[in-house]
């Protein structure tokens, strides 16, 4: 049975259907539409087929007001709630029920054969879906009742994971002697040339300072000159010991290194 909280969906609607009162079944041979008064139907309206859960409902309603004339709940198809007649494909026998549970059998028929085909296919599709749902439900229950695979850890059981412990690649050694790489060139891209031999010669021919040259020259003056006093201490004043008579004597010129090998005389 359908529960109260389930949604009711519409499966099919046929606007024209005829309803007949049928006589009781006389034998087990089935119903015949020829036994009904087909020219004078007892009621005419529309048919609406709905589904609520696994139960289908055939509802006979008024065409204008939609008032319910009769309803036939269908638990299975084919079954006792819907039967075909033996002499036509456009007529069926329905078992209708009221709210109090009382039931009765009536005959219904369609003027068009296509409408009767749609009526038949709609019921077949619904109960085919119901059968699949039942099989799926049984399969899930069987899976739940079967033994379950236990993938949990037992007491004292551990697991070891090796993450990122691959073989280490040997790093390439820098080229050059002693494991040191070559120095990069200077920013300008030019290497300064080594100092030339001319530069060394110029450095060796540098003229000494004036003070040292004068001291050396004074130490080598002729000692026979009585008017000149030669001091050996280069730190003292060279001209401090001259007498007043030095005014008659011409001052000594700065000593220069001879170019011809002769000494400078005062």
Q: 146-155: per-residue pLDDT in tens?
A: 566 667 767 7
Q: What is the pLDDT of residue 154?
A: 73
What are the backbone dihedrals phi and psi of residue 121, each rounded to the nearest 5 degrees, phi first? -65, -35
Domain at 8-137, CATH from 2.30.29.30, 3.40.50.720, 3.30.70.2740, 1.10.3720.10: 2.30.29.30
Maximum Cα interatomic distance, the chain, rounded to a whole number of Å: 186
The reported pTM is 0.53
pLDDT digits (tens, 9 = 90+) for 42-85: 999 999 999 999 999 999 999 999 999 999 999 999 889 999 99
Q: Are 71 and 97 in contact (CB under 8 A)?
A: yes
Greater confidence, 4 or 96? 96
Greater confidence, 125 or 233? 125
Residue with tokens 């551990």: 158
What are the backbone dihedrals phi and psi of residue 70, each rounded to the nearest 5 degrees, phi first? -160, 160
258 CB contacts (<8 Å, ≥6 apart)? 264
Measure the CA–CA gap between 110 and 115, rounded to whole angstroms: 6
């Amino acid at each position: 049975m359908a529960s109260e909280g389930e949604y009711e969906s519409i499966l099919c609607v046929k606007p024209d259907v005829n309803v007949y009162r049928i006589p009781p079944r006389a034998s087990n041979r089935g119903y015949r539409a020829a036994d009904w008064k087909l020219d004078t139907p007892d009621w005419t309206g529309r048919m609406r087929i709905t589904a609520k859960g696994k139960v289908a409902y055939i509802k006979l309603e008024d065409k204008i007001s939609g008032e319910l004339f009769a309803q036939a709940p269908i638990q299975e198809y084919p079954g006792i709630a819907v039967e075909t007649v033996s002499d036509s494909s456009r007529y069926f026998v329905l078992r209708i029920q009221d709210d109090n549970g009382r039931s009765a059998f009536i005959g219904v028929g369609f003027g068009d054969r296509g409408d009767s085909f749609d009526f038949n296919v709609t019921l077949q599709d619904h109960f085919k879906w119901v059968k699949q749902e039942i099989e799926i439900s049984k399969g899930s229950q069987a899976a739940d009742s079967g033994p379950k695979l236990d993938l949990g850890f037992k007491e004292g059981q551990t697991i070891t994971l090796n993450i990122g412990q691959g073989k280490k690649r040997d790093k390439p050694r820098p080229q050059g002697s002693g494991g040191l790489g070559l120095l990069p060139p200077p920013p300008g891209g030019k290497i300064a040339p080594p100092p030339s031999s001319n530069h060394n010669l110029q450095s060796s021919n540098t003229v000494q300072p004036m003070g040292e040259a004068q001291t050396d020259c004074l130490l080598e003056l002729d000692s026979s000159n009585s008017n000149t006093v030669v001091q050996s201490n280069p730190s003292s004043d060279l001209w401090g010991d001259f007498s007043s008579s030095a005014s008659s004597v011409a001052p000594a010129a700065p000593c220069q290194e001879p170019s011809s090998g002769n000494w400078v005389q005062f």
